[in-house]
Chain A
Amino acid sequence: MNADRWREELDLELDGALDGPVVVALHEWLEHSPDLRRERQELQSVHAALAASVVAPRPGFAAEVVRSLPAAAWEGRTVSAWRWPFALLLVLGGVAAALFGGAAAELEPAAPGFAAFAALTKLFVSAALAGAGLAGATWTGLGFGLAHWLVASKLHLLAAGLIVLGLNLLLVRLLRPTARSRASVPHRSR
């Protein structure tokens, strides 16, 4: 091994990146080489100077960083984020099941489970049809009312146009993600 190679091994040893038989051989070589010993001393000084120049971060820096963390996109997908909504859903499901069972028992007290379920379904279908009819009638009525209001004057027509335009602008503004994310990043503190 030539002198340059030994110097390289010496540098690795001082940096804690050398082990095994090479270290033993290096130490034997060191005993017989004043040049290498001098090299070792100088390199030690370089390592020491580098280590001594390390500065400490300002106190409380880590806490500062944690405080300034904005909400990350992945946070909404974590299990813990859905823990409470899921628990609420479970409770609501339980309540619905209890109501369903109670209603079935009320409608067909002596009937088996399937007949009670069929009776309840009929009830729900009837209620849904009635609701749909009511909603249809309401929308028709609203449509007639709006048409009547719009044709009453050109000013009404203009006002309706402005409302529609305003709603569209609001929608576009809400859909701009960059503006939203910029606003959500907190200012860094010193």
Chain B
Amino acid sequence: MPQEPFDPTDDELVRSVLAGDRERFGGLVERYQTRVVNYLYRIVRNLDDAHDLAQEVFIRVYQALDRYDSQYRFSTWLFRVAQNAAIDVLRKRRVQLVPISRRSDDAGEAAPDLDLPSNEPSALEGLEGRERDATIRVAIDALPWEYRELILLRHYGELAYDEIAEVKGMPLGTVKNKLFRARQLLKQRLLAASGPGTTP
């Protein structure tokens, strides 16, 4: 019978690294690389830059590993570092963080009445591969920063709601509500982008 592979927790890996086994840090990088790279990619909008920045984030985390407080989750600490690194880069680039003309409070508007029959596939499902990726990127970029940040942390950073609340220092209810509003906005924009017949 094949033996279940040993899957150490983040804390165990951190302890091993701090005890001198620096190769175990590779385990932490393996575990979080996809999430960190994707999160940063959606912010810096260039995959090579995202990799470079992710590398820098992991190096920063490694150098400060002895200051990691295990009463918090490693993931929230890592993403706080990633978030600060991304903001630093954006500041340096002087990128406009909120590139839309609409105000952020338009998220409170009611969802449009989309005339789609419930037994047919959604218009979004008709989009494929690169087209869908480009559409989703544009739709995310058009979100107000406060919503965009939460979408990135949830869907690319794969953080749980309570982890996002911890990273952002927000109440859990606010995180849930903002994510709901963010996805409603995304839905409207994706549907608008996916076909004239579905435009609100």
Interface residues of A (CB under 8 A from B): 7-8, 11-12, 15, 17, 34, 37-39, 41-58, 61-66, 68-70, 72-75, 77-81, 188, 190
**Residues in chain A near residue B37, CB distance under 8 A:** 55, 57, 61
- Contact across chains for A46 and B18 when beta carbons are under 8 A apart: no
| A66/B25 contact (C-beta < 8 A), A72-B63, A79-B20 known | yes
The secondary structure that dominates the B interface is: helix
Given contact pairs A39-B111, A74-B18, A188-B56, a sample of 4 additional A-B residue pairs in the complex whose CB atoms are under 8 Å apart? A69-B62, A73-B63, A80-B20, A190-B48
A-B contact pairs, 23 of them (CB 8 A): A8-B177, A11-B184, A17-B160, A41-B116, A42-B114, A42-B187, A44-B122, A49-B136, A49-B190, A50-B151, A50-B186, A53-B137, A61-B37, A65-B54, A65-B59, A69-B22, A72-B64, A74-B66, A75-B20, A79-B20, A80-B19, A81-B20, A190-B52
Q: Which of A56, A69, A188 contacts B25 (CB 8 A)?
A: A69
> In the complex the two chains form, is A78's CB within 8 Å of B20's CB?
yes
Q: Would A62 and B127 count as touching, CB distance under 8 A? A: no
Rounded to whole Å, the gap between the CB of B65 and the closest CB of chain A is 7
* Shortest distance from the beta carbon of A183 to any chain B beta carbon, whole Å: 15
- In the assembled complex, the CB of B116 is this many whole angstroms from the nearest CB of chain A, namely 6
Query: When chains A and B are docked, how far (Å) is the Cα of A11 from the Cα of B55?
Result: 34
Interface residues on B, range: 35 or more
Residues in B with CB closer than 8 Å to A66 are 22-23, 25-26, 29
Say whether A17 contacts B29, CB under 8 Å.
no
- Point out the residue from A12, A72, A79 that lies within 8 Å of B65, measured CB to CB: A72
